[in-house]
Structure 1
Amino acid sequence: MKLLVTGASGFVGRRFLEMIPADWEVVCLGRSQPASLTERWIQCDLADQKSVESAVKQVNDETFDSIVHLAAFVPKTAADDTLDNARLGNIDATINLLTHFGEKSEKIIIGSTAEVYDQSKIHGPITEDNVVAGSSYYGSTKMASELIAQSYAKKMNKELTILRFSVMYGGYDPIARAIPNFIRAAKAGDDLTIRGAKVLRDYVHIDDVARSIICAVNANGAGVVNIGTGRGISIRETAQVIVNSMQSISRIIVLSEDGGSDIVIDISRAEKLLNYHPEVFFPDKLKEMEKLYK
Structure 2
Amino acid sequence: MKILVTGASGFVGRRFLEMAPASWEIICLGRSNIDYDDVKWVECDLSSKESSKIAADVLADKEFDVIVHLAAFVPKKTIEDSLEKCKEGNIDGTINLLTYFGKKAKKIIIGSTVEVYDKTKISGPITEDNVVSGSSYYSSTKIASEVIVQSFAQKNNKELTILRFSIMYGGYDPIARAIPNFIRAAKSGDNLTINGPLVLRDYVHIDDVASSIICAVNSAGAGVINIGTGRGVSIKETAESIIKSMRSSSCINIISDSGGCNIVIDISKAESLLDYHPKVFFPDKINEMGDLYENCK
TM bracket, shorter-chain basis: over 0.9
Once the 2 structures are TM-superposed, how far is the Cα of residue 60 of structure 1 from its aligned partner? 1.0
Once the 2 structures are TM-superposed, how far is the Cα of residue 38 of structure 1 from its aligned partner? 3.1
Alpha-carbon distance in structure 1 between the residues aligned to 2:35 and 2:283: 27
Alpha-carbon distance in structure 2 between the residues aligned to 1:281 and 1:132: 26
Is 1:256 matched with 2:256?
yes
Partner of 2:102: 102
State the one-letter code of the partner of 1:125: P
Once the 2 structures are TM-superposed, how far is the Cα of residue 277 of structure 1 from its aligned partner? 0.4
Alpha-carbon distance in structure 1 between the residues aligned to 2:158 and 2:24: 21
Alpha-carbon distance in structure 2 between the residues aligned to 1:95 and 1:35: 27
Partner of 2:58: 58
TM-score by length of 2: 0.98
Alpha-carbon distance in structure 1 between the residues aligned to 2:43 and 2:197: 43
Alpha-carbon distance in structure 2 between the residues aligned to 1:56 and 1:131: 36
Q: How does 1:59-138 map to 2 (within 5 A)?
A: 59-138=59-138
Partner of 2:179: 179
CA deviation vs aligned residue, 1:152-195 (integer Å, no higher than 9, x gap) = 10111100000000000000100000000000000000111011
Alpha-carbon distance in structure 2 between the residues aligned to 1:53 and 1:127: 38
Cα pair 1:153 1:160 within 8 Å, conserved:
yes
Would you say how many aligned residue pairs link Structure 1 and Structure 2? 294
Once the 2 structures are TM-superposed, how far is the Cα of residue 36 of structure 1 from its aligned partner? 2.0
Superposition RMSD in Å: 0.7
Q: Per the alignment, in what secondary structure is the counterpart of residue 225 of structure 2?
A: strand
Once the 2 structures are TM-superposed, how far is the Cα of residue 106 of structure 1 from its aligned partner? 1.1
Alpha-carbon distance in structure 2 between the residues aligned to 1:235 and 1:150: 35
Q: Per the alignment, in what secondary structure is the counterpart of residue 112 of structure 1?
A: strand
Is 1:147 matched with 2:131?
no
Once the 2 structures are TM-superposed, how far is the Cα of residue 79 of structure 1 from its aligned partner? 1.4
Q: Per the alignment, in what secondary structure is the counterpart of residue 255 of structure 1?
A: strand
Cα pair 2:208 2:278 within 8 Å, conserved:
yes
Q: How does 1:1-294 map to 2 (within 5 A)?
A: 1-293=1-293, 294=296
State the one-letter code of the partner of 2:239: A
Q: Per the alignment, in what secondary structure is the counterpart of residue 193 of structure 1?
A: strand
Once the 2 structures are TM-superposed, how far is the Cα of residue 133 of structure 1 from its aligned partner? 0.3
List alignment gaps of at least 5 residues for structure 1.
Answer: none
Cα pair 1:204 1:228 within 8 Å, conserved:
yes
TM-score by length of 1: 0.99
Q: Per the alignment, in what secondary structure is the counterpart of residue 29 of structure 1?
A: strand
Larger CA deviation: 159-168 vs 28-37 = 28-37
Once the 2 structures are TM-superposed, how far is the Cα of residue 258 of structure 1 from its aligned partner? 2.2
Question: Percent same amino acid among aligned pairs?
Answer: 69
Alpha-carbon distance in structure 1 between the residues aligned to 2:35 and 2:186: 29
Cα pair 1:197 1:257 within 8 Å, conserved:
yes
CA deviation vs aligned residue, 1:76-113 (integer Å, no higher than 9, x gap) = 01111110010000000001001110010010000000
Alpha-carbon distance in structure 2 between the residues aligned to 1:49 and 1:84: 16
State the one-letter code of the partner of 2:225: V
State the one-letter code of the partner of 2:158: K
Alpha-carbon distance in structure 1 between the residues aligned to 2:236 and 2:58: 50
Alpha-carbon distance in structure 2 between the residues aligned to 1:213 and 1:143: 19
Larger CA deviation: 193-202 vs 222-231 = 193-202
Once the 2 structures are TM-superposed, how far is the Cα of residue 37 of structure 1 from its aligned partner? 4.2
CA deviation vs aligned residue, 1:1-39 (integer Å, no higher than 9, x gap) = 110000000000000000011111100001111242431
Larger CA deviation: 279-288 vs 37-46 = 37-46
Runs (4 or more) in structure 1 with deviation over 6 Å come to none
Cα pair 2:25 2:38 within 8 Å, conserved:
no
State the one-letter code of the partner of 1:127: T
Cα pair 2:200 2:263 within 8 Å, conserved:
yes
Alpha-carbon distance in structure 2 between the residues aligned to 1:37 and 1:193: 43
Q: Per the alignment, in what secondary structure is the counterpart of residue 64 of structure 2?
A: coil
